[in-house]
Amino acid sequence: MNFTEEQSPNGQIADRLTAFCRFHTSDPRALVSDVAALPGHAGLSFRFLLEYRADGEVKQESLVIRLAPAGVRPAGPADVARQGRIMASLRGSGIPVPPVRWFGDDRRWFGGPYYVAGFVAGRGSVKGDQALNPGNAVSCARAALSVMAKLHAADWRAVRAVWGDPVTVSAELARWDGLLRRPTLEPALVSAGAPLSRRLWASLAEAGPIGCIHGDFQWTNLLFAGQHVVAVLDWELAAIGPTLLDLGWLCLFCDASSWNTDLLVPSATPQPSQILALYEEITGRRLEAPLANRLRALAAYRFGVITIFNLMLHRRGKRVDPAWETLALSVPRMFERALELCS
């Protein structure tokens, strides 16, 4: 079976995890304890403590398991095993990802794909656990962009078998348009996106060199210790594609004028112009204003479409998450702001 937050009390998950860990550690007395659900808007995550005996001694590990949402076909962002493979492919790269312990799609354990990785202690950047403040925001942004640049410079050909074939801006734009053609979406929000889609197609151009991209490189997916990034989380949208898509995406989450909520935008975040300047400084690459603005507009359209789609899933009870109601309030302004950037 699959789990949902309503169907999976921690005790039930603990029983499954205990059987799983006893098998994978070869210790029939391995114990799982302190199971706790973690927040997030894509999939289910649980932190737990594993105690087992190996090499004649008792070991303890603090781990996290990630599962696909219940009732969702294990493909694309819901292919949790793929996320585990991608994270494992970055081992030794210097890019801070949680250490992957196990991953797979054997349904006997949790009813679908999964990965288990080491728990990384750190502070988030939004709502109640603010790693960013006015005194360190630029330093934290510099650290984040240094990690981004290192990811973009990685040898994508070496991991292509795991990450998949390169995608283009035009293919991505066609994909987002396709999502908006679903008949069950909110009509007013779909209509709000149509002018932006037309503007983006009219100004379409590839966005520079390709490489490994995270796909959702923004503050809620970064953990900090002081002013250092200790983990980049949530690799479900990772791909090989135009690397600057990540940059436009981060700029969106730094532009308070694109939002009607501060749910995903830290109050102390640098402005998009500062983010672009830092990226130029770190990479030595000059970004012309039209390209930078187009990247930001693409990001706004993409997030708007993702929000509209997830709002539909929430309202139909397929993937309940009230946060999408809040985020959807920003979609009209987000599209409007993107059109301003394209003008």
Asked if residue 123 is part of any domain, the answer here is no
Work out the average pLDDT over 52-68: 94
Q: Does residue 3 surpass a pLDDT of 60? A: no
User: Residue 191 sits in a domain of what CATH number?
Assistant: 3.90.1200.10
Work out the average pLDDT over 95-109: 94
Whether residues 306 and 242 share a domain: the answer is: yes
Whether residues 87 and 157 share a domain: the answer is: no
Asked if residue 244 is part of any domain, the answer here is yes
Task: Identify any residues that bridge with 242 across adjacent strands, giving them in sequence order.
Answer: 210
Q: What is the pLDDT of residue 6?
A: 37
Asked if residue 175 is part of any domain, the answer here is yes
Whether residues 196 and 282 share a domain: the answer is: yes
User: Residue 35 sits in a domain of what CATH number?
Assistant: 3.30.200.20
Asked if residue 2 is part of any domain, the answer here is no
Could you tell me what percent of the chain has a pLDDT over 90? Answer: 78
**Is residue 135 exposed (0-12), middle (13-18) or buried (19+ Cβ within 10 Å)?**
exposed
Whether residues 41 and 101 share a domain: the answer is: yes
Asked if residue 227 is part of any domain, the answer here is yes
Structural domain boundaries enclosing 64: 10-118
Between β-strands 44-54 and 31-38, what pairing exists: parallel, antiparallel or unpaired? Answer: antiparallel
Which residues 6+ apart lie within 8 Å of 75 measured at CB? none
Whether residues 217 and 278 share a domain: the answer is: yes
Whether residues 176 and 283 share a domain: the answer is: yes
Task: Identify any residues that bridge with 250 across adjacent strands, giving them in sequence order.
Answer: none
Instruction: Give 152-180 pLDDT, tens digit per residue.
Output: 999 999 999 999 999 999 999 999 999 99
What is d(CA 309, CA 180) in angstroms, rounded to the nearest whole number?
Answer: 8
Asked if residue 128 is part of any domain, the answer here is no
The CA angle 25-29-31, to the nearest 5 degrees, is 80
Whether residues 259 and 146 share a domain: the answer is: yes
Last residue of a domain, one of 118, 152, 186: 118
Last residue of a domain, one of 90, 118, 146: 118
Instruction: Indicate the pLDDT class of residue 233, thresholds 50, 70 and 90.
Output: very high
Whether residues 103 and 149 share a domain: the answer is: no
**Is residue 129 exposed (0-12), middle (13-18) or buried (19+ Cβ within 10 Å)?**
exposed
| Of residues 8, 72, 67, 75, the one with CA closest to residue 40 | 67
Task: Identify any residues that bridge with 212 across adjacent strands, giving them in sequence order.
Answer: 240
Whether residues 114 and 184 share a domain: the answer is: no
Work out the average pLDDT over 122-142: 83
Q: What is the pLDDT of residue 69?
A: 73
Q: What is the pLDDT of residue 39?
A: 76
End-to-end alpha carbon distance in the chain? 50
Asked if residue 124 is part of any domain, the answer here is no
Q: What is the pLDDT of residue 315?
A: 94
Q: What is the pLDDT of residue 43?
A: 64
Whether residues 159 and 286 share a domain: the answer is: yes
Last residue of a domain, one of 66, 83, 118: 118
Instruction: Give 252-292 pLDDT, tens digit per residue.
Output: 999 999 999 988 998 889 999 999 999 999 999 999 999 99
Whether residues 106 and 182 share a domain: the answer is: no
Helix (H) / strand (E) element for 337: namely helix 331-342
Total domain count for the chain?
2
Asked if residue 129 is part of any domain, the answer here is no
Whether residues 176 and 59 share a domain: the answer is: no
